[in-house]
Homo-oligomer: A and B are copies of this chain.
Amino acid sequence: MPKQNSVSRHIVLTSHPSRVGPKPIPIKWGASDPMERGPVIATLTKQAHRNVIGTHSGSYAVYRALAVARGVLQSDHRADLTNTSPVEHIGPHPSWFDLEKIVSVDPFGAIVGEVFTSYYEQGYDIRPTIAITKAHINMPELQEAVAKGRLTIDGKIMKSGGDLVVTKAAIEPVWYLPGIAKRFQITEGDLRRALFEQTGGMFPELVTRSDLEVFLPPIGGVTVYILGDIAAITDPNKPLAVRVHDECNGSDVFGSDICTCRPYLVHGIEVCVQTAQEGGAGVIVYCRKEGRALGEVTKFLVYNARKRQEGGDRADAYFERTECVAGVQDMRFQELMPDVLHWLGITRIDRMVSMSNMKYNAITEAGIEIVERIPIPEDLIPQDARVEIEAKKAAGYYTTGEVLDSNGLGSVKGRALTD
C-alpha cells in the first residue's frame, strides 16, 4: 500500500489565532441570515479554512485518520454531495435564531448545500452535519399491536406487514461553547479547560483558540424518526407525540430484561403511529448516550455490583451502585437534549412518552409545553426491570400509580447473577 499521504514536514501541536493573513469565516451563532451566521467549516483538507475545533463524524474521525494513515483514503478527499440533500425540508423555525434555544446542533446543518452556495463556489469544503432521508422500518412487536387491534394498517403511515413509512434524520453534535457554558451556568473558560484536561488532553485548541467558538465533539449524535406529516409537528391544531430515548444497546437490540428500554421505545413508536394516524405527527429522538452516557463497560460493572451486593439487587440501592462506580448517578445532561426539539420547531408536545423527570424538566424549562405524560404500560415491564422502574419512580419519575417507600423499595428484588 503506498504511503501517499506521508510527507515530511513540521507537526503543529496546536494552532493559535492568526495575527496576520486572512481570518477564517466568522460564525455568528444565532443569526437568522445563514450568510451572516456563517458556515461550519471543519475540513481537514485546508487548515486555513477551519473555523471550528474538532472535525466531522464524531468519534468516527478516528477511523478516517486510520484510513489516511493506511493510504486508502486521500487526505484531500472532498465529499461529492450530489443527490444527498434532505428528502424533506425542516425549518427554518424561529427557535433556530434564539441563542437560548439551540447551542448543541447546527440548525442549518442539513441545508448547507442550499444556503452556502456562494462559499462552495469559492472552494470551501462545507459538509452537512445533518442528513435527512426516508425509510421503511418494521419492529416485530408492532405486528402484535396490529394483531391485538391497538394499531391499524392504513396503507400510508403503516403499510401491510407492519412496515412504517418514516422520515429520519441523523444529526452530529455541533457545540457553540459560549452557549453551552451559559446553559450549564459556568464560565466558558472553565468549560473549555475541563473539556481539554478531563479528557486526557484532547484538542488543545479548546484552550489556545478562544476565537473559535464552535466545537464538534467526538461523541455520538442523535437520530430522529418522524411519523406522519412533517408540517403537523409545528401545527398547533394537530397532535404531536414524542419519545426521547437514550441508547441502551443491550435492551434496544438484544432485549435484555434488566431494563425497560426497548419495550418503552416500542410503546413510544406505537403512540407515534396512533398520533400520526389521527392526522398529527410522532417523533422519536434516539440519543447516543449508552449507559447514561457512562459507556457500556461502566454499565456492566454496575450490573455486577447491583446483583452481588448484600441483600441482592434491589430498588432501594439502585442509584447508589452507579454512583459508587461512576461518581454520578447519571451523566446524560438532558439540558442539551431539547435543542433537537427546537430544531424541529416543536413548541408543544401533546403526548410525551417518557416518565423521566430529568427529561421533563429539561424540555419544559426550554419553553416547550408538555400536555400529557405517558408511562410505560405495566404489562411491558420485564420482571427483572422492576428494580429499575420502582427506584426511578421513587426518585421522581412520573407515575399515576403507587410510589414505594424505602421498605417497599427494599422488597423489590432482581434476579441473582447465578440464575
Contacts and interface: CB of A to CB of B under 8 A. Distances in A.
Contacts of A90: none
A304 B79 contact: no
A95 to B, nearest CB: 21
A44 B204 contact: no
A297 B172 contact: yes
Contact of A198 (B15, B44, B82, B220): B44
Interface residues of A, number: 137
A384 B301 contact: no
A297 B130 contact: yes
A206 B289 CA distance: 27
B69 A184 contact: yes
Contacts of A70: 184, 186, 333
Contacts of A59: 58-59, 217-220
Nearest to A42: B200
Contacts of A60: 219, 290-291, 293-295, 331
Nearest to A301: B84
Contacts of A293: 60, 63
Given A168-B300, A184-B70, A203-B200, A137 B254 contact: yes
Interface in A388-403: none
Residue with the highest number of chain B CB atoms closer than 10 Å, among A69, A137, A138:
A69
Interface in A56-73: 56-73
Given A195-B66, A200-B53, A293-B60, A136 B257 contact: yes
B57 A294 contact: yes
Given A190-B6, A200-B203, A305 B83 contact: yes
Contacts of A225: 254
A191 interface: yes
A57 B194 contact: no
Contact of A331 (B67, B135, B185, B193): B67
Contact of A297 (B14, B141, B171, B255): B171
Interface of A: 1, 3, 5-6, 11-15, 42, 44, 50, 53-75, 77, 79-87, 128-141, 144, 163, 168-172, 184-187, 190-191, 193-205, 207-208, 216-221, 223, 225, 249-250, 252-258, 262, 265, 286, 289-291, 293-305, 307-309, 324-328, 331-333, 384, 415, 417
